[in-house]
Amino acid sequence: MKKVLHLHLNQDDTTEVVHFLDQAIEIRSIGCHGDNGLAERLIAGYDGQVDAIALDGMPDVLELGAARVAHVVGENLAQQATQTPVVNGRTIRAGLERWGVILADRAQPGIFAQKHILMVPGLNHNGLAQALARRSANIRYADPVVYFALPQFPGVGSPMTLDQAAVPTLEQLKEAPFRRIKPQPGSPGTARAADPFHWADVLAGDVGAIRRYAPAELKRKTIVVEHATEDDLEDLRQRGASILVTMMPSLNGVGSLGKWPAAVIEAILVALRPAANTPLTEDTYLDLMADIKWTPTIRYLQAADVGINKFAFVIHPLNVGFIHKHRLFRWTRFLPDELVERTAAYMPPMYISRITGGQSPTTGQKIEGYLISLAATPRQMMQRGERFTYDRLNKSAKMAERFGARIMGLGAFTSVVGDAGITVAHEADIAITSGNSLTVAATLESAKQAVMRLGMQDLTKGKVMVVGATGSIGSICARLLAQAIFDVVLVSIEPERLIELKRLIQSETPGAKVAIATRADEYLPECDLIVTATSAFGQRVVDITRCKPGAVICDVARPLDMSAAEAALRPDVLVIESGEVLIPGDIDFGYDIGLPPKTSYACLAETALLAMEGRFEDYTLGRNITIERVKEIYHLFKKHQFQLAGLRSFGGYVTEEQFQEKVELAQQYRADPKLFARVQAAAAAKLKTIPVMSKGVKASTGSGRKWLLAGAGVLAAGWLLGRKRQV
């Protein structure tokens, strides 16, 4: 049996037999208590008695980035042995750490992506730092805080870069005792600055340094270290840390903690060389390392974090009133609306809230989401180039990755701009969906319920109109509706695409009657159901006064195409919003998204549903939504027991009394054409007094432009102050 001596800085002495690369190895661990003389005597005493000697925490060289210096004591320790190789892990540590980061990322995709990473310390962890830096640009070094107890990094809570930390750290440590170079758990003599640790999402380096110098509160942080023990794990759990990752291979079976340091792993590789005279070169180690089959151990430390699939969803203010209502920007109501709307559009994405409590009754899978908001209204997005919104969505995707999300949904107008998510998905490192597949499925189911409640039991005898039929949602709605209601009117301002869509529907649904138009007015009196799915602003999408008695208008657009004032002109016509969804579980959005508690927009629900199913892939993108996707997402909807919420109209549920009132009025108007003509005429007269608009937006007057530059500074200052109060 091969034998390895493990000299470390603690006090306990143990002997353990492990199995590695199909061989048994006896590891004798002896604590040197930080006594260099004792270490020298032990090395000399075991020289020739064991196959390799591992010096844990006793480096011969100090490395931080490109800077390196010899440690005065460490470089002499190895010379105390003349027969047995003495190693300290330096030769293999960097390679195994780089490899370990790759394997951990494969096991838990996105675990390090876009995180704020603090090296605690970065000293002698170049491989780990390099690998993590490839997954996040936000990597900083706590070495000056750990080793010199600096009261604060330069700037407010801003940790040091590698260049700032390296040279002064190494020069002052080259003669330092080993217990200072590799701190052990315990209470520090001088408390360290807490801000750098609060800044970080990931603490990477040595578990002893983290336990000794990090604050008592490490809630939701990921800890990445070379090795750790069960005591380390319990300490981090008590501090609230979420995940522990150990980089070194486990020698105690699959799934066990990697408790042995790089020095021991290197010593074992030395002991397992094919021949005693095999040189201790990188090639020798590489050959042996190639046979190692392992994945870094990843332990979830909090029961609430185990097995949670995470997603993110992007929202934005539908109009300037939403900005005024936000708790951080209530003061903006004292400024001109156009100034606020224009200036807010340039703000970076903001974290809004955490969505908790979602769980599938079928599989038990838990989900957690993050709401991220742009500050641009739909009008501002439309007035600027596509790149303007793409750039902000890319920043949102990076923010989502930092939160651990593996899929991000595009809400409201963010799924309309440009190519409807294709560019964002190409440029982002996480999956993207517009949510439009479930929006279509929920809309059609809601529309079906609505027309049946108003008296139409045989859908095949009805007539349906789709306004905005050539858009991504409108076109797939039209194709699916044609399969249920064979008489369809397609309305769009794109006549050439209307022709193409008509031909597609006729080929998919032989026998369907399809009419096309660039305006809705002519066909409105004939239609039982009108679906509006436009991106129009400043125009009247549907003249409700022309609708037939008891018609249903399903408004899919966000913001809505139709106003409550217009809908009130025809109390017999039911105007409903697209289907809202109840996500299973005790769902809490942590923010008022404009719907009743536990109720979600279908596009948000699609993102949550894909996370619940573990489908972290680009799902609904572009303007060509497929029927197969709509049917598949509806199947998943049923599988995980999502439900449609009640039918809603302008922010409230439609009551039984309202349904009955509309049915009775429609019957009266059908029975008395003259009465209906008078009702239509009166409604048309009132409609002329209502400003022409859609989505609650009238044409911009240009007022407030002279305030733009001055107001921009005021609004930006308010935003910066507000960010400090965010969680």
Read off the pLDDT of each residue in 233-256 and give the average, rounded to a whole number: 88
Q: Is residue 281 pLDDT above 80, yes or no?
A: no
Q: Is residue 244 pLDDT above 90, yes or no?
A: yes
Q: Is residue 255 pLDDT above 80, yes or no?
A: no
CATH number corresponding to 440-582+646-687: 3.40.50.720
- % of the chain residues with pLDDT over 90: 61
83 closest CA partner among 54, 55, 56, 43: 43
Q: Is 1 within 8 Å of 25 (Cβ atoms)?
A: yes
Rounded to 5 degrees, φ, ψ at 542 are -135, 130
Q: How confident is the model at residue 357 (pLDDT cuts 50, 70, 90)?
A: very high
Read off the pLDDT of each residue in 550-558 and give the average, rounded to a whole number: 87
304 or 687: which carries more pLDDT confidence? 687
Q: Is residue 196 pLDDT above 50, yes or no?
A: yes
Identify the residue whose tokens are 């909807």: 637
Q: Is residue 84 pLDDT above 90, yes or no?
A: yes
Task: Compute, in degrees rounded to 10, the torsion defined by CA atoms 236, 239, 244, 246.
Answer: -30
State residue 716's pLDDT score. 47
Lowest mean pLDDT among 149-158, 182-191, 432-441: 149-158
Read off the pLDDT of each residue in 505-521 and give the average, rounded to a whole number: 93
State residue 721's pLDDT score. 43
Q: Is residue 360 pLDDT above 90, yes or no?
A: yes
Q: What is the mean pLDDT of the chain?
A: 88
Q: How confident is the model at residue 10 (pLDDT cuts 50, 70, 90)?
A: confident
State residue 538's pLDDT score. 65
Rounded Cα–Cα distance for residues 220 and 405 (Å): 14
State residue 155's pLDDT score. 47
CATH number corresponding to 91-260+284-305: 3.40.50
Q: How confident is the model at residue 652 (pLDDT cuts 50, 70, 90)?
A: confident
Rounded Cα–Cα distance for residues 269 and 422 (Å): 49
Read off the pLDDT of each residue in 351-362 and give the average, rounded to a whole number: 95
Q: Is residue 550 pLDDT above 70, yes or no?
A: yes
Q: How confident is the model at residue 697 (pLDDT cuts 50, 70, 90)?
A: low
Lowest mean pLDDT among 94-108, 382-396, 703-717: 703-717
Read off the pLDDT of each residue in 377-403 and give the average, rounded to a whole number: 91
Lowest mean pLDDT among 142-156, 168-182, 307-321: 142-156
What is the distance of C-alpha 162 from the center of its chain?
28
Q: Is residue 724 pLDDT above 50, yes or no?
A: no
3 state SS of 469: coil
Read off the pLDDT of each residue in 5-14 and give the average, rounded to a whole number: 91
- Angle, vertex CA 342, rays to CA 341 and CA 343, nearest 5: 95
3 state SS of 679: helix
475 closest CA partner among 493, 490, 495, 496: 490
Rounded to 5 degrees, φ, ψ at 194 are -90, -25
Read off the pLDDT of each residue in 302-328 and give the average, rounded to a whole number: 86
Q: Is residue 291 pLDDT above 80, yes or no?
A: no
State residue 640's pLDDT score. 97
For the chain, residues classed under CATH 3.40.50.720 are: 440-582+646-687
State residue 168's pLDDT score. 61
| Segment 586-621, tens digit of pLDDT | 999 999 888 888 899 999 999 999 999 999 999 999
Q: Is residue 711 pLDDT above 60, yes or no?
A: no
Q: Is residue 404 pLDDT above 50, yes or no?
A: yes
State residue 416's pLDDT score. 81
Q: Is residue 47 pLDDT above 60, yes or no?
A: yes
Q: Is residue 722 pLDDT above 80, yes or no?
A: no
State residue 693's pLDDT score. 59
Q: What is the pTM of this model?
A: 0.77
Q: Is residue 116 pLDDT above 60, yes or no?
A: yes
